[in-house]
Copies of this chain bind each other. A is one copy, B any other.
Amino acid sequence: MIVVMSALASARDISEVIARIRAMGYEVHLSEGKERTIIGVIGRGRPLDREQLGLMNGVQQVMPVTHPYKIASREYHPDDTLIPLNGIQVGGDTLAIIAGPCAVEGRSEIIEVAHMVREAGATALRGGAFKPRTSPYSFQGLGEEGLRYLAEAREATGLPVVTEVMDPQLVSMVCDYADVLQIGARSMQNYALLHAVGESQHPVLLKRGMSSTIEELLMAAEYILSHGNMRVMLCERGIRTFETSTRNTFDINAIPVLKQASHLPVIADPSHATGKWEYVESVAMAAIAAGADGLVIEVHPDPEHAQSDGRQSLKPERFAALVSRIAQLAPVVGRRVALKVAAD
């Protein structure tokens, strides 16, 4: 941390700031200029609050030198974290493709979709049993019944299940049915929930909040990691901007930024990022070209009758076409797709 003293700071102001820093167990390096003095804070002491220093007399600015996350950083863990999922290692050469409907709507429907996406090359099945909905009057999901159907779909197809958990009280129940816990964008800073999934040992798909910075996403991951659960996949799903022609703005820059800053796998969600099925393929291709480790794609056999987010869901045949195109693209970026056809 660096403390820039104001040009008007008195010698006493400066010595009080130094005393405060030393009292917390740090050393100090002074840089006295003609116009102003700058104080470098050195070593490892007790947590030092940047804001508090900023309030001391004569202090103009306090600037952090390092980022606030630790376990999530590449400095801490230089190698890519690999998370096993259905025979592949998420974060490794093979791309993860997670597909399924926004919400589980019925038993036969989810089993049917699971078969379809598996045929097309999906690594895992997604589907919401608990749905965060802006309106209290919208369909809120089937709850535990939906989880049971997901588990049945897994049994029928072998696909692991990715599903959202919204309430810390329900983490253990969701763990009974699901293979990967999804933290939705609206819950990214629900610290009680991050705490609860951090204590489970289930892999987590952590979605970036609609208006969270990349640093905040990594801090949310840090919450989970610091509770001992190291299996976190970061998910870019679009951010809120002034643009209204799409539901969100997919932050493609975030992919190389996250891959550089962190060792955790990065998954892209082009369905939520665009909100319109006709743009999903282009953005999915872009995400993989930029270095993403996988995709989450909404697929619904009958989008017109979907109970939520039909507007952004692909029909199964379009999803299959998308996976083929991704399979063509993958080698260009040193990746591959575990196509079921190839496996057979």
Q: Which residues of A contact B (CB under 8 A)?
A: 2, 4, 27, 29-36, 38, 40, 42-43, 47, 49, 51-52, 54-56, 60-61, 63, 65, 68-69, 132-138, 166-169, 186-187, 189-192, 210-211, 213-216, 219, 222-223, 226-227, 238-246, 249-257, 260, 273-274, 278-279, 282-283, 285-291, 303-311, 325, 328-329, 332-333
Q: List 28 A-B contacts (CB under 8 A).
A: A29-B31, A29-B32, A33-B40, A36-B65, A49-B310, A51-B306, A52-B304, A55-B310, A133-B191, A134-B219, A135-B219, A136-B219, A136-B223, A166-B190, A186-B190, A190-B190, A211-B240, A213-B243, A239-B242, A241-B251, A246-B257, A253-B279, A256-B282, A257-B279, A260-B279, A285-B290, A286-B287, A328-B332
Tell me, in angstroms, the Cα distance from A239 to B211 when the chains sit together: 10
Contacts of A191 in B (CB 8 A): 132-133, 166
Let me know if A286 and B278 touch, CB within 8 A: no
Partner of A243, one of B65, B136, B239: B239
Q: How many copies does the complex hold?
A: 4
B257→A253 contact, CB < 8 A: no
With contact pairs A29-B31, A63-B2, A189-B134 given, residues A304 and B55 touching in the complex (Cβ less than 8 Å): yes
Question: How distant is the Cα of A168 from the Cα of B165 in the complex, in angstroms?
Answer: 14
Q: In the complex, A242 Cα to B27 Cα: how many Å?
A: 35
